[in-house]
Amino acid sequence: MLRARVALNPAAVVAPVSRRTFGSFVEHMGRCVYTGIYEPDHPLADEDGFRTDVLALARELGVTMVRYPGGNFVSGYRWEDGVGPRGQRPRRRDLAWRSIETNEVGIDEFAKWAEKADVEIMYAVNLGTRGVQEALDVHEYINHPEGTALSEQRRANGAEKPYGIKVWCLGNELDGPWQTGHKTPEEYGLLAASTARALRSAEPDLELVACGSSSSSMPTFGTWESTVLEHAYDVVDYVSCHAYYEEHDGDLGSFLASAVDMDFFVNSIVATADAVGARLKSTKKINLSFDEWNVWYLSRFQNAPLPEEWKVAPRVIEDRYNVADAVVVGNLLISLLRHSDRVTAACQAQLVNVIAPIMTEPGGPAWRQTIFHPFAKTAALAKGDVLRLHIDAPTYETAKYGPAPLVDAVATHDAATGDVTLFAVNRDVANPVEFGVDLSALGAGLTVAESWTLTDDDVYASNSKDAPERVTLRPLTDVPGGAITVDGGAVTLSLPRVSWTAIRFTR
């Protein structure tokens, strides 16, 4: 059996785990909002029309922050359409997803949902078709306490207290030619800087996110961030990153190594941002908000044009996820955690129905996709500090990334409880890998408290409405190819082929 090794050192701290790593995304797109979080006619809807089954799953998922209301949608959105008496709200065309937006849900409703789900809102303003004034207006509506036209309008609409949203995205993917209001980096840098300055005049301690690249394959990757930050460095806190991964043409090996690209993305943009900071002689650091990431079979979407007919909440990109997809999602979380010193916010895109961990049927059940499981366990078990690991692992050849390590992992150490949790993937498509974990630097007496593994004989197995528990987590010792051997401070794990595992040690 191939062998990998790692030694955990509690003094090698990357950074504390940022709870905002476990963010998600609700866009007015497809069935994410309508028949996703909101379905007033559903038997399980609450007094506000929210599906309580979806709320319960969102809480179980451990989501901490939700980006809203888009996405490509936001670049044509008029926020004021979504406030006030429902009967008077206009129906509009959403050009991004060629659908009808009824505006039944707007910021007041979403803020209610967020309170029930116990999540922070990350709010995106429209810098596609709109500009500084509209950003100031929506900020006044959302965050100004009282005594002005828009804050009083909010109060009249039932929200006496301001929502106090801290994190604001300055537009969405404006580097992408598909974006309504697509801009050059100079145009966007200037607009982002003036919008940021105006928002800061209203509320100085907002946390502002400038748009970065929509993917590491964009032709402007790196130069976009550099130009934008030349204009906006002093007035923004984050630059965003977006990345989606899929298996292409049966190349499972490359797909399983997707986190290699995420590591490259993060390292490149940290270097780019720091280079701009150095040129500006600034001591400030710009952090990364990885506010759209996931597995998305984008090529299937690109090959199937949006429907001709303008519909409310059409079924759009309802990808059904398999075991391999879940292993990749778990590995992408490993990558995000590994970079916790600079990636301090992240949002899996999206939460419900649209490339999502939670699926629903209108009038019917809600269930967990395979990708739900690694997210929920990582959110629950990653506590305290992220530890820097040097993993000694054999490599395998991938068509896309060259040689990639067979095992990838990250660990967290909670000094308050002494618990240590290791998150690991085996990317080998055929065989288990032995993973030796040296815990001796953490002192004597650690024992295995729990272990959870996602794997299956069929790497393409998935969950569905009729088989919602087909793929789930099991203890590592209960899965074929899985084993744990403890010998003092030396632990040996056998990680099954194509698997994701979390293992918590305690005293």
190 touches 228 (CB < 8 A): no
CB 32 → ligand AHR: shortest distance, Å?
Answer: 9
Q: What is the DSSP string of 311-362?
A: EES-----PPPBHHHHHHHHHHHHHHHHTTTTEEEEEEE-SBSSS-SEEE-T
Q: Which residues pair with 5 in a beta bridge?
A: 392, 436
Helix and strand totals (H; E) in the chain: 11, 25
142 alpha carbon, distance to own chain's centre: 24
CB 486 → ligand AHR: shortest distance, Å?
Answer: 42
Which residues ranging from 18 to 77 are in contact with ligand AHR (CB under 6 A)?
27, 29, 70-72
CB 96 → ligand AHR: shortest distance, Å?
Answer: 7
Comparison of 3 and 78: residue with beta carbon closer to ligand AHR: 78
Comparison of 335 and 350: residue with beta carbon closer to ligand AHR: 350
Which residues ranging from 112 to 141 are in contact with ligand AHR (CB under 6 A)?
none
CB 291 → ligand AHR: shortest distance, Å?
Answer: 9
493 touches 503 (CB < 8 A): yes
Distance CA 127, CA 192 (A): 8
CB 71 → ligand AHR: shortest distance, Å?
Answer: 3
CB 467 → ligand AHR: shortest distance, Å?
Answer: 26
Distance CA 43, CA 52 (A): 9
**Omega before residue 350 within 30° of 0, cis:** yes
Give yes or no for residue 349 binding ligand AHR (CB under 6 A): yes
Alpha helices in 44-184 (DSSP H): 52-61, 107-117, 132-143, 149-156
Which residues ranging from 350 to 409 are in contact with ligand AHR (CB under 6 A)?
350
Residue nearest to ligand AHR (CB): 71
Which residues ranging from 169 to 198 are in contact with ligand AHR (CB under 6 A)?
172-173
Distance CA 241, CA 273 (A): 12
Of 39, 109, 173, 225, the active-site residue reads 173
Comparison of 313 and 437: residue with beta carbon closer to ligand AHR: 313
CB 347 → ligand AHR: shortest distance, Å?
Answer: 10
Neighbours of 151 (CB within 10 A): 18
Output the six-digit token pair for 59. Answer: 């809480």
Comparison of 217 and 447: residue with beta carbon closer to ligand AHR: 217
CB 120 → ligand AHR: shortest distance, Å?
Answer: 19
Comparison of 172 and 501: residue with beta carbon closer to ligand AHR: 172
Comparison of 173 and 325: residue with beta carbon closer to ligand AHR: 173
Closest Cα partner for 429 from 252, 168, 275, 263? 252
Which residues ranging from 273 to 312 are in contact with ligand AHR (CB under 6 A)?
292
Three-state SS letters, 446-478: CEEEEEEEECCCCCCCECCCCCCCCCCCECHHH
17 touches 382 (CB < 8 A): yes
Output the six-digit token pair for 206. Answer: 């907002």
CA distances from 220 to 128, 153, 264, 377, 468 (A): 18, 41, 15, 36, 41
Comparison of 172 and 421: residue with beta carbon closer to ligand AHR: 172
CB 474 → ligand AHR: shortest distance, Å?
Answer: 31
Q: Which residues pair with 176 in a beta bridge?
A: none
CA angle, 14 then 12 then 418, to 5°: 95
Comparison of 227 and 350: residue with beta carbon closer to ligand AHR: 350
Binding track, positions 196-225, relative to ligand AHR; x by CB under 6 A: ------------------x-----------
The dihedral built from the CA positions of residue 344, 337, 294 and 121, taken in this order, carries a sign that is negative
Q: Binding residues for ligand AHR, how many (CB under 6 A)? A: 11
The amino acid occupying position 188 is Y
Is position 308 annotated as part of the catalytic site? no
Is position 246 annotated as part of the catalytic site? no
Comparison of 12 and 218: residue with beta carbon closer to ligand AHR: 218
Would you tell me which residues interact with ligand AHR (CB under 6 A)? 27, 29, 70-72, 172-173, 214, 292, 349-350
Residues annotated as part of the active site: 173, 292
